[in-house]
Structure 1
Amino acid sequence: MAKLIYSMITSLDGCTEATDGDLGWGPEDEEVHSFVGDLFRPVATFLYGRRMYETMLFWETAHTQPDLPPYIRQYADDWRAAEKIVYSTTLASASSAKTRIERTFDPDAVRRLKKESDHDLSIDGPNLAAQAIKAGLVDEYHLFTTTTVVGGGTPFFPPGIRLELDLLDHRSFASGVTYTRYRTR
């Protein structure tokens, strides 16, 4: 059975988005970006909320930009190769290949997808992930924590949730970003 992985960049105080929208962690970090690319290359399906999908659409055409660093080109190629499911009541159609729109998040459909998939799945976006967490669907949590404290915003974990997790892996990067990987008990 495939794992459902929830991963996001977070501030030191646990926000995926600051109240003003900016986590303030600076420019792209090649070391972190390459690590993320290697980590998620085996993921065959990404589950997105509309806002996260619209953010990720950059990767659909990134490969057409001149002088693209190899690690960015590789990530763009991997993203385009993956299936994408976007949960949205307002999005009329997909703007990327290998993408389908679902109007509602159906936990039973995601359970079937996990059971039938031979590759792991990723769920991205804190609002969509909150639904999966509440349904007991998330198997692993991957956090990339910046060195910024933003004082409020959208939390990585939904309020009112208690989870018992086991630390599986951790890594520190030269930029100060830390990676932690947890498994649900």
Structure 2
Amino acid sequence: MRKLTFGMNLSLDGYVAAPGGDLSWSTPSDELFQWWSDRVAATGLALYGRRLWQNLNAHWPTADQQPGATPAHIEFAGRWRDMPKVVFSSTITEVDGNARLVTGDAVAEIARLKDEDGGPMDISGPTLAAAAMQAGLIDEYALMTHPVMVGSGKPFFTALDKWVNLNLVETRTFPGGVHLTRYETGR
């Protein structure tokens, strides 16, 4: 059975994006960017909601060919391109690159993918992750908390019907006061 992790940057008040989708508050340090790059390299399958996939896919497939691309960005672009991806959407009809599209029941498909053999899975996109949270499918949460409060926007966590007990497995501080906390579900 595969392990499913939900990890994203979030503000101290719990948002992954400020109003209007503003992410300018979450610009990573070199060390934090490398952490995310290493995570992509270790991911067996990435699960994306449509909006996040479209944003990432607009940049990373060719980011290593852009003028001024740093070695870290070149490395990340290659890793992101190579990482298998599943995109969940009911509004688009095709995806490209190393991705496949799922238009049906996201929760059923995520449960099926978890039951397969293979490397760890990461789920990204708060709307998609909310459905997986509600269904109890997430095994680990990786919160990369930035020292900023944005007031409102897209929340990291969804409302849950029951408590989810978590076990702290890692903490780490990055430059700029960004703090990683990783929790596994207490099943």
TM-score with structure 1 setting the length? 0.92
Letter of the structure 2 residue corresponding to residue 176 of structure 1: G
Runs of 4+ residues deviating >3 angstroms: none
Paired with 2:52 and 2:23, the residues of 1 have a C-alpha distance of 15
RMSD, aligned CA:
1.6
Where does the alignment leave 5 or more consecutive residues of structure 2 unmatched? none
* Alignment partner of 1:31 is 2:27: no
User: Cα distance, 1:26 vs. partner?
Assistant: 5.7
Letter of the structure 2 residue corresponding to residue 17 of structure 1: A
Residue identity over aligned pairs, in percent, reads 38
Deviates more, 1:106-115 or 1:32-41: 106-115
Where does the alignment leave 5 or more consecutive residues of structure 1 unmatched? none
Residues 141 and 109 of structure 1, relative CA distance in 2, 3 Å threshold:
same
Deviates more, 1:60-69 or 1:105-114: 105-114
What are the within-5 Å matches in structure 2 for residues 8-47 of structure 1?
A: 8-25=8-25, 27-47=27-47
Letter of the structure 2 residue corresponding to residue 159 of structure 1: A
Residues 117 and 60 of structure 1, relative CA distance in 2, 3 Å threshold:
farther
Q: State the partner residue of 1:88.
A: 89
Letter of the structure 2 residue corresponding to residue 163 of structure 1: V
What are the within-5 Å matches in structure 2 for residues 163-182 of structure 1?
A: 163-182=164-183
Whose helix proportion is higher, 1 or 2? Answer: 2
CA shift digits 1:1-30 (9 cap, x unpaired): 211110111000011111243244264421
Letter of the structure 2 residue corresponding to residue 150 of structure 1: V
Confirm or deny: 8 A CA contact 1:23 1:150 kept in the other structure.
no
Q: State the partner residue of 2:50.
A: 50
Paired with 1:109 and 1:27, the residues of 2 have a C-alpha distance of 32
What are the within-5 Å matches in structure 2 for residues 58-97 of structure 1?
A: 58-94=59-95, 96-97=96-97
How many residues of Structure 1 are paired with residues of Structure 2 in the alignment?
184
Paired with 2:20 and 2:94, the residues of 1 have a C-alpha distance of 29
Letter of the structure 2 residue corresponding to residue 169 of structure 1: E
Confirm or deny: 8 A CA contact 1:11 1:23 kept in the other structure.
no
Q: State the partner residue of 2:150.
A: 150
Letter of the structure 2 residue corresponding to residue 148 of structure 1: V
